[in-house]
Structure 1
Amino acid sequence: MDFHSDRVKYMYSGRNVHLQWVRAVREWLCVDGLQVVDLGCGGGLYDEAWIAAGARSVVGVDASAVMIEAAREAYGTRSDISFAVADARATGLEGNAYDVVFSRAVIHHMQLREVTELLREAYRLLRSGGSVLVQDRTVEDVLLPGAPDHIRGYFFEMYPRLRDVEVRRRHAVSEVSTAFAEAGLCRVSVERMWETRSEYSDFQGLERDLLARAGRSILHELSDAELRALVANIRKKLRCRPIVDRDRWTVWRAIKP
C-alpha cells in the first residue's frame, strides 16, 4: 500500500480511539502534563488520544505528507497538537526534550535494523527517565482465530495466503526487545492488550469500513471481488448486535536511563 497516495489519505483518520486504550496508557504511565512524540502518527488519531489521557502536548510525525495533511485537517486548529513531515528514524526534532515517544502500527513496515534506528531516535528525543511505548502486533496476535469480536481472524481463515504476508512482516517479541536494548533503552517490559477498534450498531457500518479497507492494510492484498466475498462470509458469521471489532496488540515499554 502506498501511504503517500491521495487514495489512502483518510484511511487512518475519521474514527475515535476507544477509552480502553486511554485507560491502559494511564495504568502504565502517569501521563498528566507530559510532552509526547508520536512516530508514524498517520491521521493523528492517537495524538488526540494522548491529550485525552492527560498529556500536555503531542507532536505527530509521519513520512507521508498526505497523512499529515489529513491529520492537520482534523486537528490543526489545536494548540496542544502539532505535526511534522519527517522520517521516524530522523525526525529533526530537538533532542532531550520529550517525556514519551510512542509508535503504533509502524514497526511491522520496517526491517529489524530500521526498528533499531527508530528506537535510537526515540532515545535521542527523550529526556532522561522518559518512556518509549511501541504498540504493534506479533504473529501470535494477528493469527488468533476469527470470532464475533475478533473479525480480523476471519480474513486468514478465508484467505490463508494472507497468513504468509503477516508472517513475513511481523517481528518476534524477543527481536523487538533486543532492538530496544541495542538502542540503549532499559527496563524493557512487554504487555498484551485487547483494543476495541470500532463498534457498529449494524453490519452496514462494518461493511463500509471493510470495503473501503479503512485502516486495514492487509486487505489491499485482495482483489475487489475477493474483498466482496470476504464481507459476505463475515456477514454470515456475525449474528450479534452491536458488533464490537477488537484486535490484540503487543506493547513494548522501556525507559531512557
Structure 2
Amino acid sequence: MGIDFHRKKNRFTYTTRIADNSWIETIKDLVPIKNISEALDVGCGGGIYSKALSDMGVNFVTGVDFSESILEAARQNCKEYKNISFKYGSALDTGLDSNRFNLLLERAVIHHIEDLHNCFKEAFRLLGSNGFYIVQDRTLEDCLLEGHDNHVRGYFFELFPRLIEKETNRRHNSKKVIETLKEVGFKDIEEVKLWETRRVYESKEQLLKDLNERTGRSILHELDDKELNLLINHLDKSLSSDKSIIEKDRWTIWKAVK
C-alpha cells in the first residue's frame, strides 16, 4: 500500500511534533551551529526540523520537499518564521545554487532513495567549503529492536513480520553510506547513534489515537485498517497504562564535511 505523500489528506501528518532536545543537543555536538548562517533541510516534510534549526540560531533555513501538498502544510506550520522558506525539489535535484549552504540536513530521507551516489553528489554541490552534511536515518539494527514502553515501533515488526522485508529492502547499511560519502568527496565522516524522543504522551490512549491516525508514520500505511486495529489492540494489552509514555526512536546519524 504505502503512504501517498502527494495526497491532500496526508499533508499535515508531518507537522504535529516538535524536535526534541535529545536531537537538538546531538546536532549541536556535531555542528558549530553558531557559525551556520544558511541551512538547507532536504525532505523537510512539515517543517519540524526547519523550525528547530531556526530556533537553534541558524540565520536562514530553506526547506525542500518533493510533495506540493506537504509543502503547503509546512508553510502553514512555519508561518511565524520569517527566516524559513520552502521550495519544491528532490534530494537528487533541488534546483538550488551551488556552494551556497553551511549546513545540509537530510533526516529520514535516504531510505526513499536507491541512488545514494547522486543524492550525496547533489549535497556536495550545494554545500560551501567546509560545509556540514547531516544524514539521519535508521539502519536495520535500529529498526528491528524489541518493542517496549519506550520503543513502541518495535511492536510493529513483532506483530507483522512481513514489515521486516519492507525495512530490509529500503534501509542502507552504515558501511554503504560511509563508502558513498567518501566516493563523492566528503571528509571527516563520523557516525553516532541516537535514541531520539519522538513524543511524550500523557496517556496510552493518546498514543493509540495517534497510531490509529497513522500520524507521521509511513510504515503504518503498509497495513490495512483491519491490521491497524489488530496492532492497536495488541499495544493496548502490551503497554503500561498507569503512566505517561515517552516514545523514543533509534537512529543513526552520519556527519560529513565538504
Instruction: After the TM superposition, list the runs of 4 or more consecutive aligned residues in structure 1 that deviate by more than 4 angstroms.
Output: none
Is there any run of 5+ residues in structure 2 with no aligned partner, and where?
none
CA contact (8 A) 1:23 1:53 kept: no
- Structure 1 position 163, deviation (Å): 0.8
Provide Cα deviations, 1:20-57, integer angstroms capped at 9, x if missing partner. Answer: 11111111111025111011101110000111222111
What is the one-letter code of the residue matched to 1:38? D
CA contact (8 A) 1:192 1:250 kept: yes
Residues in 1 aligned to 2:237 and 2:149: alpha-carbon distance in whole angstroms: 11
Residues in 2 aligned to 1:77 and 1:147: alpha-carbon distance in whole angstroms: 37
Please show how residues 106-185 of structure 1 align to structure 2 within 5 Å. Answer: 106-111=109-114, 114-185=115-186
What is the one-letter code of the residue matched to 1:90? D
Residues in 2 aligned to 1:252 and 1:119: alpha-carbon distance in whole angstroms: 12
Residues in 2 aligned to 1:216 and 1:193: alpha-carbon distance in whole angstroms: 18
Task: Determine whether 1:197 maps to 2:186.
Answer: no
Residues in 2 aligned to 1:23 and 1:77: alpha-carbon distance in whole angstroms: 24
What is the one-letter code of the residue matched to 1:7? K
Task: Determine whether 1:92 maps to 2:95.
Answer: yes
Q: Give the equivalent residue in structure 2 for 1:236.
A: 237
Residues in 2 aligned to 1:196 and 1:57: alpha-carbon distance in whole angstroms: 26
Q: Give the equivalent residue in structure 1 for 2:187.
A: 186
Residues in 2 aligned to 1:137 and 1:65: alpha-carbon distance in whole angstroms: 25
Provide Cα deviations, 1:120-169, integer angstroms capped at 9, x if missing partner. Answer: 11111111011100000000000011111000001111111111111111
- Structure 1 position 76, deviation (Å): 3.1
CA contact (8 A) 1:3 1:67 kept: yes
Q: Give the equivalent residue in structure 1 for 2:106.
A: 103
Q: Give the equivalent residue in structure 1 for 2:76.
A: 73
Task: Determine whether 1:3 maps to 2:5.
Answer: yes
Of residues 7, 13, 16, the one that matches 2:15 is 13
RMSD: 1.1
SS of equivalent to 2:34: coil
What is the one-letter code of the residue matched to 2:105? F
What is the one-letter code of the residue matched to 2:142? D
- TM-score with structure 2 length normalisation? 0.96
Q: Give the equivalent residue in structure 1 for 2:43.
A: 40
Identity %: 41
Residues in 1 aligned to 2:187 and 2:15: alpha-carbon distance in whole angstroms: 33
CA contact (8 A) 1:25 1:53 kept: no
Residues in 2 aligned to 1:216 and 1:14: alpha-carbon distance in whole angstroms: 12
Aligned length: 254
Please show how residues 204-243 of structure 1 align to structure 2 within 5 Å. Answer: 204-239=205-240, 240-243=242-245
